[in-house]
Chains A and B, each alone.
Chain A
């Protein structure tokens, strides 16, 4: 017993020494010399999956935030003080996301946060941000309940709540379907969209008469598809991720199912065409509204592509705007007081970003629209932007 505990204690002490002396910061900005050395830098945090299964998202999105911060510093920072972006890896898990927040809050003392990227992590970190009073803007957490965490949580991406609403309204009113089926995956994203679409669709008088579920990672959907075919629905809604949808479309074709498919913004990931090819023809999906090709968007796109060698996706666009909104709020607040920053973010009015004009609703959601697309061959065609106001589907110019 004595020898054991001695060894355990020794190792603990060593670990303490090592980590105490080790670096504990990941600063990743190149602050320009124009910022005064004397002023303490404003610190903004970023949490996203920098490693792991979905690291490409984290990297793409964090780069946009980086670009925004660098451009600000090139202009002299905020009121003369430099801005520092500190990027932490959530590894896609709520546990590590909480650890990331912990480090940013306790060690780095950030005044605001861009991120997280995933819904699950956004819930955990959102609760932490609300509890500790740190403004959070997520560029990609779309579950409708994320902003319900409190008044410190915002997002620059359209909520799934709106997407489900528009989906149901569009399918009934524009496409004329009265009886559809659904095949969704048991995860927060798909289930949320299904429930939103169903509520909306049925409020107009439609019926979702056949519902099938599956697990994330399933590859074989033949049983569910056969049952949907037997149920005789007019169309099938598949609000899932690209990998599952590719399987579903291919297997539907193999089963001789000619029913049209309807989908969600997961379909806007170009990977679907690599995996499902011509099976995507004819699919109608609800996705992000198309942004007017403004000059600021073009500049951002060019600068981003030049600097990082890859083009930004829609979430990266959202992160760019989110970071800029935070920095504007800091400027308006005049200090790193977290509450003042939150108030400044909340009162953002008609901010012109690369994703269009940004306004926040009372609950922190983005006031926005959804785009509707139809796949022609393997190219998505934009059909227009829509929203639902007072239970009525409205097309937006």
Chain B
């Protein structure tokens, strides 16, 4: 294998990993952008979405092997999973976060950690700790392109995250609801005075974020399989990606995700950083960004008002 093609293969791998982080980071950043709140449980909602999608897909497709029906069944399963996750997200918001809106800064954070724990351990309790396969709805055969080997799934991950990013931006920038969300993110009380139903906007934010998480979860589970801690570590790194790109900024989530994926891959592949420290790379990057440019690459500086 020539070193050029090795380089490009690593690049492709990095882009795939980055795409996965971007998928998750988009949801994180959206919720944070509107509510200034890290939903620790975001990764776990993703995991629940993956499981629900898997059950739905297995139920719908029956014994069918690859074909039009499996692809249709997969999409249907995605919709079911997204809807379930949206409701789950709204439920969690209502029960665990809403009562704490006016409380101290720490309170909703602690509550979110609790929710995350409940979800991941509850899933382990209900569905067992072993990994479960989510079958591809299509034959995911490797394709040889100019010396590197890729699979359709890798294109799918990148493609879907780009589509998600664009749709989110359009939604937030161009629609009326999007405007309401932007207003709420700036100042909740004033928005309420202006006639915006803040509760509805917040619920909607969680619903959309969770639905996106579920879709991302299913795509990721195709590669990583379904297991109770699917959302935890990857979710954490996706959050790092969101911060690096600029938390609250949708393009930033995409940029941060891709950047982190590539840095992790090349750090190990080319710079010779021992593989065991791969996860450390993400957090070191986080510390650096927080020290040098805490608002992230594409973020705007927020002045804290007295």
Contacts and interface: CB of A to CB of B under 8 A. Distances in A.
Do the two chains touch directly in the complex (Cβ atoms below 8 Å apart)?
A: yes
Given A227-B269, A254-B140, A213 B1 contact: no
Contact of A275 (B223, B225, B229): B225
Contacts of B129: 53-54
B1 A219 contact: no
Given A223-B265, A243-B131, A247-B224, A254 B151 contact: yes
Contacts of A223: 10, 13, 265, 268-269, 275
Contacts of B130: 243, 271
A246 B132 CA distance: 11
Interface string B214-239: 00000000011101010001100000
B225 to A, nearest CB: 7
Contacts of A54: 129
B101 interface: no
Interface in A10-59: 53-54
Given A53-B124, A224-B275, A275 B224 contact: no
Nearest to B20: A220
B251 interface: no
Interface in B148-189: 149, 151, 153
Interface residues of A, number: 30
Interface string A249-268: 00001111000000000000
Interface string B258-287: 000000010011000011101100000000
A217 interface: yes
Contacts of B144: 256
B142 to A, nearest CB: 5
A54 B229 CA distance: 15
A54 B3 CA distance: 42
A274 B227 CA distance: 14
Interface of B: 1, 3, 6, 9-10, 13, 16-17, 124, 129-131, 133, 140, 142, 144, 149, 151, 153, 223-225, 227, 229, 233-234, 265, 268-269, 274-276, 278-279
29 contacts: A53-B124, A213-B276, A214-B276, A219-B223, A219-B225, A219-B234, A222-B13, A222-B16, A223-B265, A223-B269, A224-B268, A224-B275, A226-B6, A226-B13, A230-B3, A243-B130, A243-B131, A243-B225, A243-B227, A246-B131, A254-B140, A254-B142, A254-B149, A255-B9, A256-B142, A275-B131, A275-B133, A275-B225, A277-B133
